[in-house]
Amino acid sequence: MTFKSYMNQALEQARAAAERGEVPVGAVLVDPNGQVVAVAGNQTRAQCDPTAHAEIVALRAACAAAGSERLVGYDLYVTLEPCAMCAAALAAARVGRIYYGASDPKSGGVAHGARVFSHPQAHHKPEVYDGISGAECEQILREFFSRRRGENGSDTGG
Amino acid sequence: MTFKSYMNQALEQARAAAERGEVPVGAVLVDPNGQVVAVAGNQTRAQCDPTAHAEIVALRAACAAAGSERLVGYDLYVTLEPCAMCAAALAAARVGRIYYGASDPKSGGVAHGARVFSHPQAHHKPEVYDGISGAECEQILREFFSRRRGENGSDTGG
């Protein structure tokens, strides 16, 4: 499979999250053999868990399946630039590469703000590839927030 | 209860973590009425979960109990400066105050490295109080790593 097809699976998860009323972000973890080992969408509302971002849900599932707190050589595909929490979790898990779609100037922690991988306190720095299916990833988020503003009269954030 | 007695409960959790062979960090979450609603020690090894730091385990338990992904007005007591992952999770949960013990120049994300709360991408900035029972918190970590170095012939990190 190519990186585009992995990102398509992440996009499916993002769309499913939107249908559940969750901020539409999706993630896919791929093992060193190219096998998809975990897929997840954002679940913060349904789980009442501020840590249940797509990346963390997928990471916890993949670690449980591997019986290890480290995923050396695994790749993460995610539709939105990870926040500082997810970036630091991916570093702690020693994930090899991160492919993300849309940039997140408002809440991102890889290319914005905390820039988690740019400090020596991140003991592992995954390779990062941005802009993968970026326009499509962004469109899902834009439609979700536009619809929510229409319903609520205000944007309650994501 | 005073902040020292809350930190004593966090220290108990840190000692219990050490006995389980986990990096000895403990955390306590207190609700706006001063009630302890969650206590936890680090569980990354036992759970095979790189996100199972004491702060995150306590945060998830308190959110589940509250039925909310936000803990407005809650206080967190933790024996070690939170890493970038935990700091960002605490900001996402809107925790009001963070009291921590030992400073963590190697892996900290509050006063070191990513300094998560110092960027506009952190949409909430908890009040931070450092050095609470700092010497005692540090001593538990120092003894743990010193013992491990003795057993392994090397420090395998934390």
Confidence (pLDDT) at B69 = 97
Confidence (pLDDT) at A157 = 43
Does residue A112 lie in a domain region? yes
The whole-chain average pLDDT of chain B stands at 95
Q: Does A63 sit within 8 Å of B48, measured CB to CB?
A: yes
Determine phi and psi for A22, rounding to 5 degrees. -95, 150
Q: Does B64 sit within 8 Å of A48, measured CB to CB?
A: yes
Start-to-end CA distance of chain B, whole Å, equals: 31
Confidence (pLDDT) at A94 = 98
Decide: helix, strand or coil at residue B147: helix
Interface test with B, best of A23, A29, A42, A51 (most B CBs within 10 A): A51
Confidence (pLDDT) at A147 = 92
Does the CB of B107 have a partner CB in chain A at under 8 Å?
yes
The whole-chain average pLDDT of chain A stands at 95
Q: Does A114 sit within 8 Å of B120, measured CB to CB?
A: no
Tally the domains of chain B.
Answer: 1
| Cα Rg, chain A, nearest whole Å | 15
Determine phi and psi for A139, rounding to 5 degrees. -60, -40
Give the pLDDT confidence of B26-67 residue by residue, as tens digits: 999 999 999 999 999 999 999 999 999 999 999 999 999 999
Does residue B138 lie in a domain region? yes
Decide: helix, strand or coil at residue B27: strand
Share of chain A above pLDDT 90, in %: 91
Give the pLDDT confidence of A86-116 residue by residue, as tens digits: 999 999 999 999 999 999 999 999 999 999 9
Does residue A158 lie in a domain region? no
Q: Which residues in chain B are closer than 8 Å to A29, comparing Cβ atoms?
A: none
C-alpha–C-alpha distance, residues B37 and B67, integer Å: 13
Question: Per-residue confidence at A1, pLDDT binned at 50, 70, 90?
Answer: low
**How many angstroms separate the CA of residue B59 from the nearest CA in chain A?**
8
Tokens 């963390």 belong to residue: A56
Span B68-91, mean pLDDT? 98
Does residue B1 lie in a domain region? no
Contact between residue B47 and residue B100 where contact means Cβ atoms under 8 Å apart: no
The closest of A115, A125, A81 to A99, measured between CA atoms, is A81
Does residue A156 lie in a domain region? no
Look up the domain containing B122 and give its range.
Answer: 6-151
Give the pLDDT confidence of B120-135 residue by residue, as tens digits: 999 999 999 999 999 9
Confidence (pLDDT) at B149 = 87
Does the CB of B103 have a partner CB in chain A at under 8 Å?
no
Name residue A28's beta-bridge partners.
A39, A77
Share of chain A above pLDDT 70, in %: 96
Confidence (pLDDT) at A2 = 82
Does the CB of B158 have a partner CB in chain A at under 8 Å?
no
Residue B118 pLDDT > 70, yes or no? yes
Q: Residue A112, annotated ligand binder?
A: no
Does the CB of A58 have a partner CB in chain B at under 8 Å?
no
The pTM score is 0.95
Does residue B158 lie in a domain region? no
> Kind of pairing, strands B75-80 and B97-102?
parallel
The ipTM of this complex is 0.94
Minimal-distance CA residue of chain A relative to B120: A113
Q: Does B114 sit within 8 Å of A109, measured CB to CB?
A: yes
Residue B1 pLDDT > 70, yes or no? no
Tokens 């789980």 belong to residue: A47
C-alpha–C-alpha distance, residues A151 and B13, integer Å: 45
Residue A39 pLDDT > 60, yes or no? yes
Q: Compare CB distances from A49 to B69, B115, B123 and report the shortest one's residue.
A: B69
As a residue count, chain A comes to 158
Confidence (pLDDT) at A109 = 98
Q: Residue A53, annotated ligand binder?
A: yes
Does residue A66 lie in a domain region? yes
Stated as kind and residue range, the H or E segment containing B7 is: helix B3-19
Look up B55 and say whether it is catalytic.
yes
Question: Per-residue confidence at A153, pLDDT binned at 50, 70, 90?
Answer: low
As a residue count, chain B comes to 158
Q: Can you give the CATH number for the domain in which B101 is found?
A: 3.40.140.10
Residues 6+ apart with CB under 8 A from A49: A43, B60, B63, B64, B69
Does residue A81 lie in a domain region? yes
- Count CB neighbours of B54 within 10 A: 30
> Kind of pairing, strands A26-30 and A75-80?
antiparallel
Does the CB of A116 have a partner CB in chain B at under 8 Å?
yes
Question: Per-residue confidence at A149, pLDDT binned at 50, 70, 90?
Answer: confident
Q: Which sequence positions of A are flagged as catalytic? A: 55
